[in-house]
Amino acid sequence: MPAWLKDAVFYEIYPQSFKDTNNDGIGDINGIIEKLDYVKELGCNALWINPIYDSPFKDGGYDVRDYKKVAPRYGTNEDLYRLFGEAHKKGIHVLLDLVPGHTSEEHPWFLESKKAERNEYSDRYVWTNCWFYGINGHPYVGGEADRDGTYMLNFFKCQPALNYGFLNKTQDWQLSPDDPACIATREAMKDVMRFWLDHGCDGFRVDMADSLVKDDDENKSATGKIWKNIREMLDKEYPEAAIVSEWCNPQQALKSGFHADFYLDHQGNGYNTLLRDYETPGGDHSFLKKDGNGDIMRFLLDYLPKYDATREDGYISFITCNHDTPRARRTLELDELKLAWALFLTLPGVPFIYYGDEIGMRYFELPTKEGGYTRTGTRTPMQWTNGKNKGFSEASSDMLYLPVDESEDAPTVENQAQDSSSLYNTVKALTALRHKYADLQADGSFEVIYAEKEQFPFVYRRGNLLIAINPSGNKANATLSDKAFVKEKDSSGSHCAFNEVYSIGGCQISGNSLTINPQAFAVFELK
């Protein structure tokens, strides 16, 4: 396990929308370099940068045309190497996005694979052996190649699936995962990883990590075997490199070799019930919504089994949002976001802050851009200042990658930095708290102290820190069990006093009774 992950707080950057330095309306690598001090001052010591490779951009860069070349819109390979170096000088690690399941249909591998004549790339992608045969249960395209066959897609039409084999073969054109051609695909992806790691990258967030072997079993055992093999390579050659999966199944992902797995917004799962429970019948019952009348047990019943089963294997990563998810500001106000980010930054695992969430950027209904569809409204330009284009770019507004928030009350870093009670300064205080107390870091212990169905507050222990949160609009009380007052690793069992080290809204402990104000959060240290 890379040691630096323990204290990591990530900042996700959608490069198109972060900072434009050459006035073409699109964010670039030099813009990220320019804002590294901002990232560090926010309290983030790691970056995840969405795909920055050469691409036709039919899916925001997730259709890779050249894994080893930076897209010219962002700069050059040398610019990215410089970013790695400048980030490292400031104590910031950098993850790139790895897209192992598919490429662009314009990738040289696929152009060769389409040819009628057999070559070394013929089996790099999943093909049937006849133009007339489809692929049952999977999307596919026919009639666009000289070779006799149809090819499988991994997502959009522009993303042909790389071939890692089929676990349960039913057709003669399907290869097994241990076929030399499928092993060659795995080794080609290792080669891509080595290329960037050798140039200073610190690891990868892996897109659709569970999508490699087709018709895998329910445990994704064949796909997991590939990642275990890749992890062996990393442990041997790059022991401080990290891999984080887009899997949302830590029992599979972490046991397959990933260091961390995202807890994604899947309808009805524990994460969804905290702040995005607005698509279920009967209204929005998100736990973190002031008037949601939420139930913390819906979260815990989903999260705790995952945490208990994997806490020795790696980390579960909570996200404020990501490039695929509607921003939480869609339904939560700034005061509600303070409590949401307070919760995520004090739970176990490695947290990720999506750019702009630290100031409460809004979600917008926008026309699709580069395959974004409903995701487009989450990808608008970062709002730095009150000046032109909110400080994102000096280009004319019609040249911007996406429009900026022109509302009179549009949140900006400039405004919030000057307000000690702002969301921005709350996030800074929370990241500072996390770095200060080892108990709050990724591998610190976690224990539920008070959680009742459809009741507030939620109280939990992180080592010798007691944490309480009440997102409701009413004062809440809890009677704490004796275990709340005993210091970790103290065999005497004697009760300890509490010292409040951080608070939003106010909370008091008297004897075994905890009283917390409406919309409040507090951290106490056992003394």
Interval 410-453: pLDDT, tens: 999 999 999 999 999 999 999 999 999 999 999 999 999 999 99
Per-residue pLDDT at 492:
62
HSE-CB of 141 using CA atoms within 13 angstroms: 16
Contacts of 40 (CB under 8 A, 6+ apart): 90, 91, 92
Instruction: Convert the pLDDT of each residue in 74-133 to its tens digit.
Output: 999 999 999 999 999 999 999 999 999 999 999 999 999 999 999 999 999 999 999 999
Name the domain count of the chain: 3
156 shares a domain with 293:
no
Residue 170, in any domain of the structure: no
The mean pLDDT of 49-61, rounded to a whole number, is 98
Measured between its terminal Cα atoms, the distance across the chain in Å is 31
In a domain, 17, yes or no: yes
Whether pLDDT at 495 is above 90: no
Statement to judge: residues 293 and 350 lie in one domain: yes
Greater pLDDT, 279 or 65: 65
- Does residue 386 belong to any structural domain of this protein? yes
Supply the mean pLDDT for the chain. 97
- Domain check: are 138 and 226 in the same one? no
Q: Does residue 172 belong to any structural domain of this protein?
A: no
pLDDT 10s digits, 239-258: 999 999 999 999 999 999 99
pLDDT at site 178: 98
Asked if the structure places residue 173 within a domain, the reply is no
Residue 141 structure tokens: 């395209």
pLDDT of 141-199, one tens digit each?
999 999 999 999 999 999 999 999 999 999 999 999 999 999 999 999 999 999 999 99
Q: Cβ neighbours of residue 227 under 8 Å, at least 6 residues apart?
A: 209, 243, 245, 253, 256, 257, 258
Closest to 8 measured CA to CA, from 275, 318, 308: 318
Residue partners of 288: CB distance under 8 A and separation at least 6: 274, 275, 294, 332, 336, 339, 340, 343, 471
- What confidence score (pLDDT) does residue 489 get? 73
226, 340: one domain: yes
Last residue of a domain, one of 135, 163, 191: 163
pLDDT of the residue at 310: 98
Average pLDDT over residues 246-274: 97
User: Residue 457 sits in a domain of what CATH number?
Assistant: 2.60.40.1180
- For residue 114, the enclosing domain spans 102-163
Query: Are 284 and 158 part of one and the same domain?
Result: no
pLDDT at 494: 66
User: Does residue 409 sit in the same domain as residue 489?
Assistant: no
CA nearest 405: which of 422, 368, 379, 380?
380
Query: Do 382 and 515 fall within a single domain?
Result: no
Q: Which of 390, 417, 438 is the last residue of a domain?
A: 438
In a domain, 168, yes or no: no
Tracing tokens 């960037």 back to the chain, one arrives at 196
pLDDT at 333: 98
Asked whether residue 106 falls in the same domain as residue 206, the answer is no
334-359: pLDDT as tens digits: 999 999 999 999 999 999 999 999 99
Same domain, 85 and 107: no
Looking at residue 68, what is its pLDDT? Answer: 98
**pTM of the full predicted structure?**
0.97
pLDDT score of 490 = 67
Query: What are the helix (H) ranges across 69-133?
Result: 77-89, 108-113
Q: Is 151 inside any structural domain?
A: yes
Same domain (yes/no): 260, 306: yes
DSSP-derived 3-state class of residue 222: helix
Q: How far apart are CA 195 and CA 218, in angstroms?
A: 33
Q: Return the residue matching tokens 């249960």.
A: 137
Final residue in a domain of this structure, among 385, 416, 438 = 438
* Per-state percent for the chain, helix, strand, coil, to nearest 5: 30, 20, 50
CATH number reported for the structural domain that contains residue 142 in this entry: 3.90.400.10
Q: Are residues 404 and 508 in the same domain?
A: no
Q: What pLDDT is stored for residue 464 in this prediction? A: 96
pLDDT in tens, 216-226: 999 999 999 99
505 and 427, same structural domain?
no
Domain of 256, CATH number, reads 3.20.20.80
Domain annotation covers residue 209: yes
User: CA 191, CA 185: separation in Å to the nearest integer?
Assistant: 10
Given a cut of 90, is residue 488 above it in pLDDT?
no
